Structure 1
C-alpha cells in the first residue's frame, strides 16, 4: 500500500467515526487542551488546509483556523478526502507543501498527515468510547516515520507534542504510536 492509500483509508475511517459522534458531543479527549468540539474543528480545519495546499499550484495551505465544521464534520472529511486523492493522483505529492511559509517535501507532508489522523482519530474514538482500528501496516509505516519528526525541542511540556508515554516494545502498534505521540494508551473519559 502507498501512503496515499493509507491516508484515504484513515480518512474514510475518520469520517465514519465522526458520523457516530453526535455533533453536540462535548467532553475531554486524550489530546490535552482539545475537548471533543475543539478537536473536531482541529481535524477538519487542518485537513482543509492540507487539501487546499495540495490542490494549489503553489502548494500553500489555507488557514486551518478559518474553517467551520458543518454538523458532525463527516461530510466535510469525505469531500476533502476525495479532493486530496484527486490532487495527489494528479502529482501534487511530488511538489512541496507550504505550511505557514515553511515548505516541506510533499511525501513528508503526506506521511505527517497520516500520523496526524491516525492519532487524532484515536483521540476522538477514545473520548467517545468507540473503536478505532487503522491498518496495521499503515501504523507500522507511521511508527517508522514519526520518531524522526520528534525531538526534545518539540516534545514535552509546553511544546507542540506532549512528552512520550512509555509503552512496552511488544505492545500493539496503535498503543506504541499513541504513546510515542504523548498519550496514555489506557486513557478513558
Structure 2
C-alpha cells in the first residue's frame, strides 16, 4: 500500500470524525496533553493546511499552521486539503517538504503525517467518546515508521511525546501505535 493512498483514506475518515464530534465541548481534555478539543482541531487543520500547501506549491514550503482558523468542525477544510493532495500524490512525495528553514524528504514527511493523523484521530475520538478505526495496513505502516522518529530527544517526560506505554504485542495495531506514541489505549 502506498503512503499517499493511506493518507487520503485516513483524511477521509478524519473529516468524518471531525463532523461527528462537532458538538464535543471545545475545552474537553484529550489524551494529547498539549491540547483540549479546540486546540487539537486547530492543530489538525492548521498543520494539514500547512503540509498541503507545501506539497502543492512550487517551492514545497509549508505555510504557517498558526495562521489557519478552524471553520466549524474543520471537516470541510480537511476534505478540501485531501482533494488538493489527491491531485499531486504520489508524485509530490519525491519532493522535499520544507517546514521553515528545515526540509525533510517528501516520502518521510508523508509517513509522519499518516502517523500523526491516525494518533490525533484517536485522541479526538477518545475525547468525544466515539469510535475511530483507521485501516490496519496504514496503522501497521506507521508502527514500522514511528520508532525511528521517537528517539529520546522527542519522547519522554516533558517532551513532544510522552513515554511509551506498554501494550501487549498481540493488541490491535491502533492500540500498539497509540501506546508507542505515549498514550494509554486503556484509558
Normalising by the smaller structure, the TM-score range is over 0.9
Q: State the Cα distance separating 1:131 from its structure 2 match.
A: 0.5
Contact 1:23 1:71 survives alignment (8 Å): no
* Whole-angstrom distance in 2 between the partners of 1:33 and 1:137: 28
RMSD, matched Cα: 1.1
* Whole-angstrom distance in 2 between the partners of 1:35 and 1:43: 12
Deviations, residues 110-134 of structure 1 (Å, cap 9, x unaligned): 0000000000000000110111001
* Whole-angstrom distance in 2 between the partners of 1:22 and 1:119: 18
TM-score (norm 1): 0.95
- Report the counterpart of residue 186 of structure 1 in structure 2: 186
Secondary structure, aligned partner of 1:98: strand
**Where does the alignment leave 5 or more consecutive residues of structure 1 unmatched?**
none
Q: State the Cα distance separating 1:17 from its structure 2 match.
A: 0.5
* Moved segments of 4+, more than 3 Å: none
- Report the counterpart of residue 168 of structure 1 in structure 2: 168
- Report the counterpart of residue 4 of structure 1 in structure 2: 4
How many residues are matched?
186
* Whole-angstrom distance in 1 between the partners of 2:163 and 2:100: 24
* Whole-angstrom distance in 1 between the partners of 2:114 and 2:39: 20
**Where does the alignment leave 5 or more consecutive residues of structure 2 unmatched?**
none
* Whole-angstrom distance in 2 between the partners of 1:65 and 1:163: 27
Q: State the Cα distance separating 1:149 from its structure 2 match.
A: 0.7
